[in-house]
Amino acid sequence: MSAHRILVTCPPMLGMLEAFVAPAQELGLELVPAEVTQTLSEAELIELLPQFDGWIIGDDPATQQVFEAGKRGSLKAAVKWGIGVDNVDFKACEALGIPIINTPGMFGGEVADVAVGYVIALARHTVEIDRGVRAGSWPKPRGLSLAGRTVAVLGYGDIGRNTARRLLAADMAVIAYDPFVDPSSLEAGVSLAAWPERLGEADFVVVNCALTASSHHMLNAAAFAAMNPGVRVVNVGRGPVIDEQALIAALASGQVHSAALDVFEQEPLPLDSPLRSHQACIFGSHNASNTVDGVERTSHKAIQLLAEFLQEPTA
């Protein structure tokens, strides 16, 4: 029996694809890499996907039209690599009879490491100092001590919980915002609040939550106005959780001191984005989960799940 052909469009997995070819072959899968930097377009996917039996999805526009095109061809199953599913039309898959699942709980620690790294960098101006030294100066900006400061953590799932643990270890107070969390499951030292109550207490705001209808532009002009003046903002969740125009205005007024953003409303960040003019800000490339360990763990899981979907029915 010939192997099932699998389209891989997830950049972190593509960066280590050679490590997964043999394990996939053992499960009857042939991994085919897409030529992609961040995402393929809907038009590109509509043309490409029908040639494949399975799809390991990154942050591509996995829309109804894309899945319909795949269904007209060979597509039989798909797996969303990672946690976020805001780019995937799961209802369309259900209607079309295409099995699909994501891979939650794979790299909460990895993303939390980056979130805390951003908190420290904003508090102590480490990136600003690095830029200055490289430019030939010797800057000594006065930073903030972490101990005794308060952090608002938006989203208390795998990433949020791991973030809170690390911040608690730095002797920080943590306020968690998550309408779905069981209060009895909170780490000792974490208090739960309803959004946007107590937001003015936070010296830092860390966004970990998924993008949903309710979280879209959760950090808007009203939210920034309710924050402590000079607050520092971190986003390792999804870009559209923050209204970037409102953030730009809050940075310009000084209401927000600085921001560390691993994700954006439009990715890659446009060259003409006003965010680029704020030298105290730090930018990532939607890369917080990308470690050797995390990619191996998540990719093997995605391959296993897809192989199970594509197994021939037994008599």
Tokens for 266, please give them.
């439009």
Give burial (CB, 10 Å; 0-12/13-18/19+) of 315: exposed
Give burial (CB, 10 Å; 0-12/13-18/19+) of 312: exposed
Contact call for residues 302 and 103 (beta carbons, < 8 A): yes
| Sheet of 204-207, strands arranged across | 190-192, 173-177, 150-154, 204-207, 231-235, 256-261, 282-283
Tokens for 32, please give them.
């085919």
137-161 core/surface letters (b: 16 or more CB in 10 A; e: else):
eeeeeeebebeebbbbbbbbbbbbb
Chain centre distance of CA 277: 24
Q: Is the dihedral of CA 221, 223, 229, 230 positive or negative?
A: negative
Helix (H, G, I), strand (E, B) or coil at 275: helix
CA distance 157 to 112: 11
Phi (first) and psi of residue 122, to 5 degrees: -70, -35
State the catalytic residues: 238, 267, 286
Q: What is the CA radius of gyration of the chain?
A: 21
Q: Which residues of the chain form beta strands (DSSP E)?
A: 4-8, 29-33, 54-57, 77-80, 100-102, 150-154, 173-177, 190-192, 204-207, 231-235, 256-261, 282-283
